[in-house]
Amino acid sequence: MKPLHRHPPRRALARRIAGPLLLAALWSPTLLADADIRVSDAWLRALPAVSRVNSAYLEIHNGGERDDRLLAVRSPLAEAVTIHRSVQIDNAYRMQPVEALPIPAGTRVTLQSGAHHLMLTGVRRSPAAGERVPLTLTFERAGDIQVQAEVRPRERAAPRESAATGHQHH
């Protein structure tokens, strides 16, 4: 009698190597890359209820050895969050949308008034001072990172915040 053709040995081999391969993948630097990016000091200003736009500020630290880029931001507070930068043209500050914000390896990028910042449009409600507003930042390599931005009273905004920067959203 002709013996049946059998596959089980090959499947057994696949099972034997699948475990170690999966472990290797979980421990690879690529999949752990999000540990390289740290977001801190996220905050925004409490604004009057009529305001439909707001800005958010934070710091991004890339402690890794590879460059990353901030691609997008979203928040339940706003219909859209755009990465903006302020540029000075003839003594006036203007804002431009930025496609992606580079976060080079080993650097700290500060989003602040008069420089890069996050612009929230279609703001749904006026959060109270002391409240925390979730922001989800999407990085090219690190993926999604969520932070809680602190809502600060208008008058107690960051000391570096001043009328001199002329930063306004219209």
Binding site for Cu ion (CB under 5 A): 84, 95, 119
Shorter beta-carbon distance to Cu ion: residue 46 or 142: 46
Instruction: Provide, rounded to whole angstroms, the least separation between the CB of residue 24 and Cu ion.
Output: 44
Within 10 angstroms of residue 110's Cβ, the number of other Cβ atoms is: 14
Tell me whether residue 53 or residue 71 sits nearer to Cu ion (CB atom).
Answer: 53
What is the CA angle 137-100-45, rounded to 5? 50
Residue whose CB is less far from Cu ion, 111 or 151: 111
Smallest distance, Cu ion to C-beta of residue 118, A: 8
Quick count: other Cβ atoms within 10 Å of Cβ 82? 16
d(CA 27, CA 25): 5
Smallest separation, CB 57 to Cu ion (Å): 11
Strand pairing partners for 73?
Answer: 81, 137
CA distance 5 to 167: 76
Of the pair 45, 84, the CB lying nearest Cu ion is at 84
Token pair, residue 46, equals 């409490």
Least gap, CB of 168 to Cu ion (angstroms): 9
